[in-house]
C-alpha cells in the first residue's frame, strides 16, 4: 500500500533540514518523524554548531494526548574513572558574541544524550521505521552540502582556537586548496555518513553500547577525556511531563526542571502577563527589562547554583505566580502536522570541543566548558548538566497548535519570551513577532547591562546599554510552526539566522 502523505509545517535550521522533513512527510511520517529527521540532518549540515554528540530536548504534544518532554541532555561523565585523574582541556577566548571564554578539548566533553532522546521520541510517537528517519541525514552527509551561513558566521571566530588543533577536525574544515572553508563552500562528510549508516542499521544504541560507543570511549581514554564506556552504557533518556503555563489565550507546555530554560521562560511570561492597554512602546520595554532582570538574577543567584534544581525551579515558579500545573551553540526544529500533533526539538553541542573521534566523522561537544551554564559545583557523574534549552508547544483557545523554540545560549529564554508575549496576546502575527527587535539583560558577577538591537526603542534605564545591529544572530534564531484555528498550516523563521520553512501539502486526489 502506498504511504499517505502527511500535511505539515516545518521551521528548521536550513533548507536541507526542511527538505528532509517534507520527504519524510511524503513517506507518511507525522510531526515527530519529520522533526527527528530534520534534526539529524542539522547535526550533519551545521558543523561547529551542533552534532550527533549533542544534548537535546524533545517536547511533543500529540493530538488528543498529554504533552511530554524527552530529556536527552548531556550528563556529567566520570563513571568508573579514578577520582582526580587528570583531564586534557584548555581555555580559549574568542570574539564570538562580543567575547566568550570556553573550555575545549577531550576533558570538556560531556556524556551525549541527543541520539537517545530522538530515538525514544520517534519510537514512542513516530510512524516510520527508524532507518527511514535517519536516511536523509546519511544521504546529505555522503552527497555533500553547502556550508550554511550560521556555521559560516560562527566558525571564523573559533576555527583556529577551537577546531584547528585536532588534525581530523581541521582537515574537514579545509578545502582542496588548503584554505578554510567559507559560507557556500561544499562539504562532503563520508566518515560521518558511514556513522549515520551504522546508526540507521543498529539504532541509537550504537552510540551507547555498540561500535560507535567503543570508538568514542577508546579515543577518550587515549587522549585524556573524562567520558568512559560506563558513562555511555549507563545513559538513559528520561520522559517527563511537560511544564504547563498560560500566556494570553494560549496554553503552553515546555521543558521542565531539572532543565533551567523552561521554568525561566514560564516565569518571564507569567510575570509579563497580558500587556497593559493602552501602553506606549517604551513603557512595555521598561517592563520587559525589569522582568527579565528579575528572573535572570533569580536564576543566577539561586537556580544555577542549586544542588536540587527541581526544588529551586518550583520556588522560582511559585515566586512568579505560575500555577505549577504539570502535564504529562544550539539548533531548533519546529513541526506541526495537520492532525494537530506539535513537536519542538532543541539540541546543543555547546561551542564544540574541537575533538573528532578518529574514523567516525563525529564531532564532540564541549558542554562541560560552557562557563555561563555551569556556575555551580560540578554534579556527580551521571547527573544532568544545566540547560537553557526550552522547546515549547502550545494550544490556542481557537484550536490553534504551535511548536516553537530557539538556539542562542543564555538568550534562548529572553528571545522566546519576547516572541510569545507578542504572539499569544494577539499583538503580532507569528512572523511579525519573530521579526521584532529584541533585547537581553546580561548579568555578570553582580553587574548588569542591557543588550539591545539598534532598532529597539529604549526608555531611560538605570543600566548601561550595548547596541547590536538589527536582527543580530546574538539574539537567537526563533523558529515556529503553526496550525491556526482555521486549520491552515504555516511556519515562520528568524531573519537572525538562515533558517528555512516549508509547508507540505498532500496531493489532490480524484
CA dihedral 135, 68, 116, 81 (to 10 degrees): 160
Per the model's pLDDT, the better-predicted residue between 117 and 151 turns out to be: 117
**pLDDT, tens only, 418-431:** 999 999 999 999 99
Higher pLDDT, 301 or 488: 488
Residue pLDDT, tens place only, 9-51: 999 999 999 999 999 999 999 999 999 999 999 999 999 889 9
Segment 341-362 shows an average pLDDT of 95
Average pLDDT for residues 482-490, to the nearest whole number?
Answer: 95
Q: Please give the span between the terminal C-alpha atoms of the chain, in angstroms, as a whole number.
A: 17
Model confidence band, residue 324 (pLDDT cutoffs 50, 70, 90)? very low
| pLDDT 10s digits, 263-273 | 999 999 999 98
Q: Which pLDDT score is estimated for 278?
A: 41
> Can you tell me the distance from the alpha carbon of 251 to that of 268, in angstroms, rounded to the nearest whole number?
15
H helix or E strand, kind and range, residue 240: strand 238-247
Smallest CA-to-CA distance from 103 within 258, 234, 224, 218 is with 224
Q: Which residues contact 395 (CB under 8 A, 6 or more apart)?
A: 61, 250, 251, 401, 402
Percent of the chain with pLDDT over 90: 73
| Percent of residues, the chain, with pLDDT higher than 70 | 94
**Quick one: 260 and 337 in the same domain?**
no
Label residue 280 by pLDDT band (50, 70, 90). very low
Structure confidence at residue 326 (pLDDT)? 29
Q: For the chain, how many structural domains are there in total? A: 2
Return the pLDDT at 2. 61
Asked if residue 342 and residue 474 are part of one domain, the reply reads no
Categorize the per-residue pLDDT at 275 as very low, low, confident or very high, splitting at 50, 70 and 90: low
Containing structural domain, residue 484: 241-329+389-500
Whether 154 contacts 182, CB under 8 Å: no
- Contacts of residue 468, Cβ cutoff 8 Å, sequence gap at least 6: 451, 452, 453, 454, 474, 475
Say whether both 336 and 315 belong to one domain: no
Examine the domain organization and report whether 251 and 300 are in the same domain. yes
Q: Are residues 358 and 472 in the same domain?
A: no
Q: Are residues 189 and 166 in the same domain?
A: yes
Q: Residue 264: give its domain's CATH number.
A: 3.60.20
Q: Are residues 362 and 433 in the same domain?
A: no
Are 145 and 223 members of one domain?
yes
Q: Is residue 380 part of a domain?
A: no
Check: CB of residue 55 under 8 Å from CB of residue 73: yes
Q: Are residues 231 and 336 in the same domain?
A: yes
pLDDT per residue as tens digits for the range 116-126: 999 999 999 99
Cβ neighbours of 459 (radius 10 Å): 13
> Quick one: pLDDT at residue 327?
27
Residue 85 placed within a domain: no
According to the model, what pLDDT value does residue 328 have? 23
Complete DSSP assignment for 59-109: EEE-TTS--EEEEE--B---TTSPTT-----EEEEE-GGG-EEEEESGGGP
> Which DSSP symbol is given to 158?
H
Q: Which of 320, 349, 373 is the last residue of a domain?
A: 373
Q: Do 324 and 334 sit in the same domain of this protein?
A: no
What's residue 508's pLDDT?
41
Is residue 178 very low, low, confident or very high in pLDDT (cuts 50, 70, 90)? confident
- Please write the tens of the pLDDT for every residue from 303-322: 877 878 888 888 888 877 76
Q: How far is CA 466 from the centre of its chain?
A: 26
Task: Report residue 359: phi and psi, to 5°.
Answer: 80, 0
pLDDT at position 100: 82
374: pLDDT strictly greater than 80: no
Least confident of 14-23, 242-251, 443-452: 443-452
- Which of 209-223, 229-243, 373-387 has the weakest average pLDDT? 373-387
Tell me which DSSP letter residue 473 carries: G
Strands 186-187 and 145-146: antiparallel
Contact 489, 506 (CB under 8 A): no
Residue 345 placed within a domain? yes
Q: At 11, phi and psi to the nearest 5?
A: -125, 125
> Is 434 within the bounds of a domain?
yes
Alpha-carbon span 200 to 63, nearest angstrom:
28
What's the pLDDT score for residue 471?
94
Are residues 56 and 153 both part of a single domain? yes
Judgement on whether residues 263 and 315 belong to the same structural domain of the protein: yes
Mean pLDDT over all residues of the chain? Answer: 90
Amino acid at each position: 500500500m502506498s504511504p499517505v502523505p502527511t500535511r505539515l509545517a516545518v521551521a528548521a535550521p536550513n533548507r536541507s533540514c526542511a527538505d528532509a522533513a517534507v520527504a519524510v512527510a511524503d513517506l507518511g511520517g507525522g510531526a515527530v518523524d519529520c522533526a527527528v529527521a530534520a534534526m539529524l540532518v542539522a547535526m550533519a549540515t551545521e558543523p561547529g554548531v551542533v552534532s550527533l554528540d549533542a544534548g537535546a530536548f524533545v517536547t511533543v504534544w500529540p493530538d488528543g494526548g498529554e504533552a511530554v518532554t524527552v530529556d536527552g541532555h548531556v550528563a556529567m561523565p566520570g563513571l568508573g574513572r579514578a577520582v582526580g585523574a587528570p583531564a586534557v582541556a584548555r581555555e580559549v577566548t574568542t570574539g564570538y558574541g562580543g567575547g566568550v571564554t570556553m573550555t575545549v578539548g577531550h576533558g570538556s566533553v560531556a556524556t551525549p544524550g541527543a541520539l537517545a532522546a530522538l530515538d525514544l521520541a520517534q519510537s514512542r510517537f513516530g510512524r516510520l521505521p527508524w532507518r527511514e528517519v535517519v536516511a536523509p541525514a546519511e544521504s546529505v552527509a555522503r552527497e555533500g552540502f553547502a556550508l550554511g551561513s550560521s556555521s559560516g558566521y560562527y566558525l571564523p571566530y573559533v576555527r583556529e582556537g577551537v577546531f584547528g588543533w585536532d588534525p581530523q577536525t581541521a582537515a574537514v574544515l579545509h578545502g582542496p586548496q588548503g584554505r578554510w572553508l567559507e559560507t557556500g563552500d561544499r562539504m562532503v562528510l563520508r566518515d560521518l555518513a558511514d556513522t549515520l549508516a551504522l546508526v540507521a542499521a543498529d539504532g541509537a544504541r550504537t552510540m551507547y553500547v555498540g561500535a560507535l560507543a567503543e570508538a568514542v570511549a577508546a579515543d577518550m581514554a587515549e587522549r585524556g577525556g573524562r567520558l568512559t564506556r560506563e558513562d555511555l552504557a549507563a545513559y538513559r533518556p528520561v520522559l517527563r511531563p511537560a511544564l504547563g503555563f498560560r500566556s494570553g489565550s494560549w496554553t503552553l507546555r515546555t521543558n521542565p526542571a531539572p532543565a533551567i530554560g523552561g521554568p525561566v521562560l514560564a516565569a518571564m511570561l507569567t510575570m509579563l502577563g497580558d500587556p497593559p492597554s493602552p501602553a506606549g512602546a517604551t513603557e512595555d520595554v521598561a517592563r520587559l527589562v525589569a522582568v527579565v532582570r528579575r528572573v535572570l538574577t533569580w536564576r543566577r543567584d539561586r537556580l544555577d547554583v542549586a544542588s536540587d534544581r527541581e526544588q529551586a525551579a518550583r520556588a522560582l515558579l511559585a515566586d512568579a505566580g505560575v500555577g505549577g500545573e504539570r502535564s504529562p551553540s544550539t539548533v531548533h526544529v519546529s513541526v506541526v502536522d495537520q492532525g494537530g500533533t506539535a513537536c519542538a526539538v532543541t539540541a546543543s553541542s555547546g561551542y564544540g570541543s574541537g575533538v573528532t573521534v578518529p574514523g567516525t566523522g563525529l564531532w564532540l561537544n564541549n558542554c562541560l566548558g560552557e562557563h555561563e551554564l555551569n556556575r555551580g559545583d560540578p554534579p556527580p557523574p551521571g547527573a544532568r548538566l544545566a540547560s537553557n534549552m526550552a522547546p515549547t508547544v502550545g494550544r490556542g483557545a481557537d484550536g490553534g497548535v504551535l511548536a516553537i523554540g530557539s538556539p542562542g545560549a543564555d538568550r534562548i529564554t529572553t528571545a522566546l519570551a519576547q516572541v510569545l508575549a507578542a504572539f499569544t496576546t494577539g499583538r503580532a502575527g507569528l512572523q511579525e513577532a519573530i521579526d521584532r527587535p529584541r533585547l537581553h539583560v546580561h548579568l555578570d558577577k553582580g553587574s548588569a547591562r542591557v543588550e539591545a538591537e539598534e532598532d529597539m526603542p529604549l526608555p531611560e534605564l538605570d543600566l548601561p546599554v550595548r547596541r547590536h545591529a538589527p536582527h543580530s544572530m546574538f539574539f537567537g534564531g526563533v523558529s515556529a510552526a503553526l496550525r491556526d484555528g482555521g486549520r491552515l498550516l504555516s511556519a515562520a523563521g528568524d531573519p537572525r539566522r538562515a533558517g528555512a520553512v516549508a509547508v507540505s501539502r498532500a496531493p489532490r486526489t480524484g
